[in-house]
Chains A and B, each alone.
Chain A
């Protein structure tokens, strides 16, 4: 379908994801085994259901792995290089926003992120990108701090807002 080379085809993705869910299953089993997993005279113990849910996840993951990976493999397109680039260009800045918000505060980080994401990555005219970024940030600030009276982290700008 896509003209860009594939970096992950559907079969590989199915295998990868069934391994992930299988690992979750094992983690759940391991976590449940820290408690009693039996059935007492007054019903199931704390680990009874989690233990069995973990086993079921693991078993179903193995079936999926065998089915999608070997019995009915589908070597169709999944993620091409172009897709991966587009996804990374969205995902990585967003992770950056989350990290930046921890020390810049949410409002400043959001403004910076929007300028970059809309202006640089989205290739919208800079003036427009900056306007959108500032408007959004200020609108969110007004909504949360005044309408909702819900203080969000403001980072080094905090004292400045305190003066405001």
Chain B
């Protein structure tokens, strides 16, 4: 470990040049713009600038591209909180409490909390990469499809609870999400599923188009129905609100640490940032004391997904470098970059190119700090957007939705899907069908089906395989506990009532 810090020190020597620092700020600023636009997303943003890096030194190139990633991750939260449209898939969970906070006139507070938590979690993620690189890599190698499936189920179980609302509506939501995820080419059998002979459906239904439709168009339709909610919100633009929030922020240390740990784990093992943020939100909701009204604008509801999202983002760099295994879409693009610059990702990269690896790790400390600084500096600007009258901001959001749906894959068929999902979203929101379980089902749906079927191939059809090895057994048991918890608390309540009456 001491050796690692010595390496890190050399890394800072590599990263701390004026040129590299300029690249970090430029990358973060570009990333913020990419993150704010819902359709573009971090993977697109990074691959747009990839050609620029061909002529660059690999260290400079990776610093620029990863900085875009950090900027985009943070930028995604801005649109989530202000407009209820997730700028990045991984910031869907930030809308749950971030948007209600903004509607209550606390946009500045929500944004400040989001950025500080993101920065904190990102730094913890990098610290983990720095200190435990080797053992963490070994841990990642333990994951076969069997463990993948167990993790996906755990993520799902920790988020979805049938509390409140109609259980049958929740079931329909989950079913719809699973069906959308099935459309397209199947990895395991290679056959084309649920495309109904529409050529445009072979590529599958893009998760981003669903999110823009449900949260963008659906949300706008709902707002049209309740003109009261569309009144501009008077938002205090003063820095004192930011300072006050920053002072109060350490009070949420438990949520911060919990979310960060969930994120680090999901960044290294298979989950990825989106699943991590949902899981962290679900865990915070269950374990935060004092029956806080989650979903109505509680700070913990912003902190939990943001910490998980960002620590997953930074710690995902480790399996990418050390194993050549990308656990997020952006990491996959970076991996391609690595090979084009002539590097071979894998366990030997740390020995062959220490300057590159440690330069990158050192830069991650600096560029995440840069991302938080730039994002905080933009808070007053974005908070002002909230006071623009709806007659102007409404059509502007409409334009953003259209252009975003177009940039997802440049297909006019996606525009049609956008409107269909917009109408579906309106009905689901107003008829109290929960949308979040549908989104999570879509994120995890086909990955868990793949993992399950791969597991069955490995075990030749034996279902007990999920309980045979220590890691998968632990995860499976945790999943069952999470699923059973609501039942247990129901029973306990019933028992208490009984005891009280006798």
Give Cα A149–Cα B34 distance, bound, in whole angstroms: 13
Which residue of chain B lies nearest to A129 when distances are taken between CB atoms in the complex? B392
Known: A17-B431, A35-B193, A46-B191. A25 touches B221 (CB 8 A): no
Known: A41-B460, A113-B399. A50 touches B194 (CB 8 A): yes
- A152 interface neighbour in B34, B394, B403, Cβ under 8 Å: B403
Known: A50-B179, A136-B399, A148-B48. A21 touches B172 (CB 8 A): yes
A-B contact pairs, 20 of them (CB 8 A): A28-B194, A31-B193, A31-B196, A41-B460, A49-B449, A53-B182, A56-B175, A60-B169, A86-B224, A90-B224, A90-B394, A93-B395, A106-B402, A113-B398, A117-B394, A122-B391, A122-B392, A124-B389, A144-B407, A147-B33
- Interface flag for B30 (CB, 8 Å): yes
> Which residues does chain B contribute within 8 Å of A144, judged by CB atoms?
403, 407
Interface residues of A in 26-55 (CB under 8 A from B): 27-28, 31-32, 35, 39-47, 49-50, 53-54
Q: Are A83 and B225 in contact (CB under 8 A)?
A: yes
- Interface flag for B143 (CB, 8 Å): no
Give Cα A83–Cα B172 distance, bound, in whole angstroms: 26
Q: Are B168 and A67 in contact (CB under 8 A)?
A: yes
- B48 interface neighbour in A50, A83, A150, Cβ under 8 Å: A150
Q: Are B186 and A46 in contact (CB under 8 A)?
A: yes
- Interface flag for A57 (CB, 8 Å): yes
Interface residues of B in 433-490 (CB under 8 A from A): 433, 449, 452-453, 455-457, 460-461
Q: Are B227 and A50 in contact (CB under 8 A)?
A: no
CB of A83, distance to nearest CB on chain B (Å): 5
> Which residues does chain A contribute within 8 Å of B406, judged by CB atoms?
101, 106, 152-153
Q: Which 9 A-B pairs have the closest CB atoms?
A: A43-B456, A122-B391, A117-B395, A57-B175, A46-B189, A31-B194, A60-B171, A86-B224, A60-B168
> Which residues does chain B contribute within 8 Å of A104, judged by CB atoms?
none
Interface residues of B in 386-445 (CB under 8 A from A): 389, 391-392, 394-396, 398-399, 401-403, 406-407, 410, 412, 415, 418-419, 422, 424, 427-428, 430-431, 433
> Which residues does chain A contribute within 8 Å of B34, judged by CB atoms?
148
- B176 interface neighbour in A13, A24, A49, A114, Cβ under 8 Å: A24
Q: Are B399 and A110 in contact (CB under 8 A)?
A: yes
- A-side residues, CB < 8 A to B, are 10, 13-14, 17, 20-21, 24-25, 27-28, 31-32, 35, 39-47, 49-50, 53-54, 56-57, 60-61, 63-64, 67, 78-79, 83, 86-87, 89-91, 93-95, 97-98, 101-102, 106, 110, 113-114, 117-118, 121-124, 132, 136, 140, 143-144, 147-150, 152-153
- Interface flag for B118 (CB, 8 Å): no
Known: A46-B188, A46-B189, A150-B407. A64 touches B168 (CB 8 A): yes
Q: Are B172 and A64 in contact (CB under 8 A)?
A: yes
Known: A49-B182, A57-B179, A110-B399. A98 touches B188 (CB 8 A): no
Chain B interface category by residue count: 35 or more
Q: Are A35 and B395 in contact (CB under 8 A)?
A: no
> Which residues does chain A contribute within 8 Å of B428, judged by CB atoms?
17
- Interface flag for B220 (CB, 8 Å): yes
CB of B346, distance to nearest CB on chain A (Å): 31
Give Cα A109–Cα B194 distance, bound, in whole angstroms: 33
> Which residues does chain A contribute within 8 Å of B176, judged by CB atoms?
21, 24, 57
Give Cα A79–Cα B429 distance, bound, in whole angstroms: 13
Which residue of chain B lies nearest to A45 when distances are taken between CB atoms in the complex? B189
CB of A38, distance to nearest CB on chain B (Å): 12
Q: Are A35 and B191 in contact (CB under 8 A)?
A: yes
Q: Are A91 and B456 in contact (CB under 8 A)?
A: no
CB of A29, distance to nearest CB on chain B (Å): 10
Known: A87-B225, A97-B402. A24 touches B396 (CB 8 A): no
CB of B364, distance to nearest CB on chain A (Å): 24
Q: Are A47 and B175 in contact (CB under 8 A)?
A: no
Give Cα A143–Cα B37 distance, bound, in whole angstroms: 11
Q: Are B191 and A98 in contact (CB under 8 A)?
A: no
Known: A83-B225, A136-B399. A44 touches B453 (CB 8 A): yes
> Which residues does chain A contribute within 8 Å of B225, judged by CB atoms?
79, 83, 86-87
Known: A43-B453, A86-B225, A147-B30. A98 touches B415 (CB 8 A): yes
- B403 interface neighbour in A20, A46, A56, A106, Cβ under 8 Å: A106
Q: Are A32 and B194 in contact (CB under 8 A)?
A: yes
- Interface flag for B154 (CB, 8 Å): no
- A122 interface neighbour in B191, B195, B395, B401, Cβ under 8 Å: B395
Give Cα A67–Cα B165 distance, bound, in whole angstroms: 13
- B461 interface neighbour in A43, A54, A91, Cβ under 8 Å: A43
CB of B51, distance to nearest CB on chain A (Å): 8
> Which residues does chain A contribute within 8 Å of B456, judged by CB atoms?
42-44
CB of B232, distance to nearest CB on chain A (Å): 13
- Interface flag for B104 (CB, 8 Å): no
> Which residues does chain A contribute within 8 Å of B195, judged by CB atoms?
31
CB of A44, distance to nearest CB on chain B (Å): 6
